[in-house]
Structure 1
């Protein structure tokens, strides 16, 4: 796993491994065999073994207009070990096509941000390994392969069904939780009645929309309280969609069982003093 800023220096090249590349920032061009296409943020590429390709920014001044990508590189043999843990026949058949070099190069668009989130997690886990990182990376890798399959077969080739539409609403809420999201806003944006949306939230999440949003926000705030130990609680509240600190504290205590300050104190390890 790596994150790279593309330049004009790298020539057309091929690999003896499979490459999954996700465009994280900017725009530019992807040259593959004798073809070239424009590319930009949110585009994912599958590059089989032996296929010549290269990414280049839209202009030679890559520092001014960078094209930044994540690369996930793996040998086809890695897929052999997944056969025993993939119970779904369509996914198993799809991975077998990849393993045996039956799939040509292709690209898809990350419609809901799920692919980008997986690349971020893969990169972080790969470069900051912890206990069980091998298992965790493999689990993320399987999620990535399944997400790519869904993008190619469910959301790209066929019209969106009602279930997929509601999944997009959930992805939207998970991504934009810090904004002023209301049921009325979702109703206008996705063209469903507020009453119907409320029924869907209750049926598919077991919560009302309001409680679902609160839980997402508080979950994110827990992460920030630990990751940004020097950031005041007031700013953490604002970063997760709460403009009123009193409301944030009340909701946080109801869901977590403690105040934000107590949670931070319990979950943040004190740095040992450095001896001279």
Structure 2
């Protein structure tokens, strides 16, 4: 990934304008928004074009075309392109933001009780897989073109569709019960995450990343574990395994060993052990289940 400015805080202000209850942002370009961030609004994101990875809390998973992400308020998250994605391949994603607090009177309507429970009682952020989400693609595409009542009708159509497919939603629970840290901590976490994503192919040490944020290695380990509930080494290995999954599923390497070495592992034995620990299956089993046919 390209080097980015690490100074931005984790707190993101949705650039809403006017008095509207809903704000639509359509991102088209070479990259996703490149910062690990959070905001007070609920977010629905439809990935129209461009594959990559999605991080929420301390969970990392692939993000694929035609998937919908339901992101709870204040859940820190980050979309980023795959290491092996073509540079010229654009990203196209539509985000719908809305404030649950602001919309409380709206959702008090008897006709919207089912939809209300979806958003106000959701236990964790969720994902709607492509096989279920694709049918609502055109509704998301039209959001940036519609205004007034026509826009509201489309939004209610999306809400009702998600309510109808609530059983198909996949939990993105990351294990973080509460994410409560100041912007200065957010800047530090963001710096560490971006550095790990940029340099996962080589041996990234605790001493190296702790010096980036001006902490001692011991203080950094405690700090990182407090905010992510995992060690930095575990986090780095999960990034490596996610990258390896992208290589394996798209047949971009000749062997499992090649995927291991390309993603920063010194031996195939270590890679296989970490892969099974993260994915709960062996690389061979993963390939059999997910590999794209040539």
Instruction: Return the TM-score normalized by structure 2.
Output: 0.44
Question: With CA pairs under 8 Å and 6+ residues apart, which has the higher RCO, 1 or 2?
Answer: 2
Q: Which has the higher helix share?
A: 1
Greater Rg, structure 1 or structure 2? 1
Instruction: Return the TM-score normalized by structure 1.
Output: 0.46
